[in-house]
Structure 1
């Protein structure tokens, strides 16, 4: 087959996150050369027929630079005000650079509540699909101006993974201030060993530290959490140096750059991804060994008889974490009873529920259709029965 007859690669959905440390130089001034290379790379991907989303940090840092501030704000009120200043300037720079290449963009600001409520989650999905249809690159950031602590993503690593899961992306790229993941923080430990490939997150035993840059919020811990969300959704993820955005093209071409994470072979469907990652659990249910076996190995729903302890203040249809006796998470799901009711029926057979509560309730505490297993609880080679269908 000649080169002219070679098949065109399948278009992919690609989410790229760039951190504050890669976007800025001294005194939080924008690193325009990095931004220009990033814009050129993303526009090239878009011209190739791919669907591209950029998750961009930097609003607070750019706002601080605009206002002449030397320290990152401490209070949420200060962050919200300064983010409002910086977000507009950041988007103006992006729009100027993308306009040179005739690539339209859109600003999408999200809070955690946009992904927690099912109707807003679905609406967000449809918005992204329409932007793809219009050949637009969405530029996503957390809506810092209105978000409060309990509705914040915490960092854009998590946000980018949730967006990638929402749209069913093929790839998630985290552009950061290191070239790959290491066995320890290379800034503090000169003996840190590079890690190029991660097949299973559970196999990692590394010291990731807990710090980001002076102006960013995400360290390696947040990147591993992003990897958990992304790979669990069947998305391949890569960590690479943000100073060289063209590494994205090289990785897509098959070069072993950065640290790459293998997607899980049996990803959950869209609704279960929402349950696992979009919702914040309001409580914990501790299960006996029989219940753990039933939901992780046999693909069954959770019954009241298998619950030995209830923690938290939650209502029916809230998300809860399901744990074994030791507190190890084995699954998450939507619960059919509130915490008061579960305290009364835990350890009891389903046939006793109506007598205890005085009315007919659901036979299951968490139905298998509303239950998502933790991949580490079932092992990498076992198909999660609760996710079938």
Structure 2
């Protein structure tokens, strides 16, 4: 039964993104767990697999270094905490992997880095180069410069984006719990683990607890959303206990460890997949019912005539969300006009654009080739 969790032989998963949460790396057993995960990753690399590591823990490490019992609340203090903890975190990973003869590279990203197409592609090229050199990338969110507007949310979401970025065959989420349970085991001790999830729907989301742990920013719901995002890209996810030695090799050998989330059909690739998974689109446009129907049912481009409202500030070529009149998300696209320009031409016919602006870039506000329709992907945005 456990072997049947994998639609492909486990040996088919050649490139993995492995995410390690703060709760696994903090506390009395944190160092031991880090060494155990390093050993598991080293074993995978010895089999010829490629691994990209996404590691939380900078703020937790900073708390430990400074002797703090709880995380500060202000953003400058959190940023300073990350600045203290990130070098210590990388030093631990570097030392752990050096015992196996592996070199590591630090990669710090913000959501804004992946929201711009050329920076997204640059990040992918850097990671591909490191992998081709046999170097293990260790990625974390750049907490020292983060603000809410450029924050991924947590490293669960970052890991799903990285899995898509590098074309991973499998996303692995190491957590401080054994698996997904039918209900939060902290409040429902009799809840049973769920070994296999076909699709992360509302019923599955309802199994998650309410909040994160003491040192982390995510929780079970965040991990489920990351698995859903990976599923939309055609990537399966393994949720494993990071505190249990050998859990990843055991899972890949078909043993019933953790929870396996099946991949969905990959309906987008390239630019459209990037658009769908953008962490922070730059603004929003609200469209009328006719435009919404044309986008959703006819695969049409968005014309200025269908735009009712423009929200936020964005330039030409930046990503925006398209909403219907009820506020529902239709999709994400790259605009051919800035927010200021769209405010002037919204609701107007294409033949009026040049008279209003004094020039015309294109007829379309968003061309269909640069638009990702969310409703076509299971799991939503």
Identify the TM-score tier after normalising by the shorter chain.
Answer: 0.7 to 0.9
- Matched with 1:18 is 20
Mean Cα deviation higher: 199-208 or 113-122 = 199-208
Alpha-carbon distance, 1:170 to partner: 1.1
2:292 counterpart of 1:292: yes
1:165-314 alignment, distance < 5 Å = 165-190=164-189, 192=191, 194-204=193-203, 206=206, 208-244=208-244, 246-278=246-278, 280-314=280-314
Alpha-carbon distance, 1:367 to partner: 0.9
Identify unmatched segments of 5+ residues in structure 2: 1-8
Alpha-carbon distance, 1:248 to partner: 1.9
Alpha-carbon distance in structure 2 between the residues aligned to 1:192 and 1:310 = 47
Alpha-carbon distance in structure 2 between the residues aligned to 1:11 and 1:196 = 19
Alpha-carbon distance in structure 2 between the residues aligned to 1:255 and 1:296 = 43
Q: Deviations over 1:218-274 (max 9, x none)?
A: 112322332233222221112221112522223333445323222231242232233
2:359 counterpart of 1:364: no
Mean Cα deviation higher: 251-260 or 128-137 = 251-260
Alpha-carbon distance in structure 2 between the residues aligned to 1:8 and 1:18 = 21
Alpha-carbon distance in structure 1 between the residues aligned to 2:146 and 2:214 = 22
Mean Cα deviation higher: 40-49 or 192-201 = 192-201
- Matched with 1:387 is none
Alpha-carbon distance in structure 2 between the residues aligned to 1:131 and 1:220 = 31
Alpha-carbon distance in structure 2 between the residues aligned to 1:207 and 1:10 = 30
Q: Does the Cα contact within 8 Å between 1:334 and 1:370 map onto a contact in 2? A: yes
2:112 counterpart of 1:113: yes
1:345–1:198 Cα change, 3 Å = farther
Q: Which has the higher contact order (CA 8 A, sep 6+)?
A: 2
Q: Deviations over 1:65-93 (max 9, x none)?
A: 12222221222222222222222222222
1:39–1:286 Cα change, 3 Å = same
- Matched with 1:385 is none
RMSD, aligned CA = 2.6
Aligned residues: 370
Q: Deviations over 1:122-147 (max 9, x none)?
A: 22111111111111111111222233
1:343–1:67 Cα change, 3 Å = closer
Q: Secondary structure of the residue that 1:175 maps to in structure 2?
A: strand
Alpha-carbon distance, 1:212 to partner: 1.0
1:108-187 alignment, distance < 5 Å = 108-187=107-186
| TM score, norm. by length of structure 1 | 0.86
Q: Does the Cα contact within 8 Å between 2:232 and 2:378 map onto a contact in 1? A: no
Alpha-carbon distance in structure 1 between the residues aligned to 2:286 and 2:175 = 38
Q: Does the Cα contact within 8 Å between 2:10 and 2:254 map onto a contact in 1? A: no
Q: Does the Cα contact within 8 Å between 1:16 and 1:55 map onto a contact in 2? A: yes
Q: Secondary structure of the residue that 2:239 maps to in structure 1?
A: strand
- Matched with 1:53 is 52
Q: Secondary structure of the residue that 2:277 maps to in structure 1?
A: helix
- Matched with 1:100 is 99
1:149–1:289 Cα change, 3 Å = closer
1:132–1:11 Cα change, 3 Å = farther
Mean Cα deviation higher: 127-136 or 194-203 = 194-203
Q: Secondary structure of the residue that 2:162 maps to in structure 1?
A: helix
Q: Does the Cα contact within 8 Å between 1:61 and 1:215 map onto a contact in 2? A: yes
Alpha-carbon distance, 1:301 to partner: 1.6
Alpha-carbon distance in structure 2 between the residues aligned to 1:228 and 1:131 = 27
1:129–1:197 Cα change, 3 Å = same
Alpha-carbon distance, 1:95 to partner: 1.9
| TM score, norm. by length of structure 2 | 0.88
Q: Deviations over 1:8-47 (max 9, x none)?
A: 9446210111111111224xxx523222221111011111
Alpha-carbon distance in structure 2 between the residues aligned to 1:88 and 1:37 = 20
